[in-house]
Amino acid sequence: MHKDLEEILVTDIVLQARIAQLSARISKDYKGRCVTLVGVLKGCVLFLSDLIKRMDIDTNVDFMMVTSYSGAQSTGVVRTILDLKQNIEGRDVIIVEDIVDSGLTMKYLLKNLSTRQPRSLEICTLLDKPSCRKTKIPIKYAGFVIPNKFVVGYGLDYNELYRNLPYIGVLKKTVIEGKI
Ligand code: IMP
Ligand code: MG
């Protein structure tokens, strides 16, 4: 375990097993169709790659980058930094996120993407942290519901560190500047 962590919340093995289940469910639900996966950078990267390599349907991958966070604190204001390259009108779209926390980022993404008139729009998030939710978010595919702790690893960062860890861990409070 990395020295900055308090505990491992989801191990590598458990992550991979759950992602295989999600891939199978999505492949079944979208059988015979091509699904457009919109990855939300940068946290989605490890999850998205493991998710799509197990799918047995046609996929189309694109990315968006939005921001609302600085360190461990949400500013609540969401902005687009990088937009999709493709037109999603008439497509079956799934937003692929690392974590839904307050839900403000996802609310913004849903509103933004739905104006482009996709055929369908769903959410797939690796982690769901419902305790701090500020707005109702209809999550169709969720990997793990987690407690209100600041987590890192498997794509998730704290000030751009720890994304490479193959598991999800809880960051030690002493590592986090200020309060979260
Ligand atoms: P929300 O807008 O509060 O739902 O937060 C969305 C974004 O904040 C996520 O996509 C993450 O990038 C980041 N985030 C929220 N909670 C955590 C956490 O525990 N660890 C790392 N990043 C987080
Ligand atoms: Mg994210």
Mutational pocket test of ligand 1: of 156, 160, 172, the residue with most ligand atoms within 8 Å of the beta carbon: 156
- What is the identity of the amino acid at 117? Q
Q: Whose CA is nearest to atom 9 of ligand 1?
A: 99
100 in contact with ligand 1, CB cutoff 6 A: yes
Q: Identify the sign of the CA torsion 166, 82, 52, 9.
A: positive
Q: Identify the sign of the CA torsion 104, 109, 112, 117.
A: negative
pLDDT digits (tens, 9 = 90+) for 138-147: 999 999 999 9
pTM: 0.94
Residue 130 burial (10 A CB sphere; 0-12, 13-18, 19+): middle
Angle (CA) 159 153 38, round 5°? 85
Q: How far is the CA of 33 from the centre of ligand 1 (A)?
A: 30
pLDDT digits (tens, 9 = 90+) for 61-118: 999 999 875 555 556 689 999 999 999 999 999 999 999 999 999 999 999 999 999 9
Domains in the chain, please, with CATH? Answer: 18-27+34-149 (3.40.50.2020)
| 120-128 vs 141-145, strand pairing mode | parallel
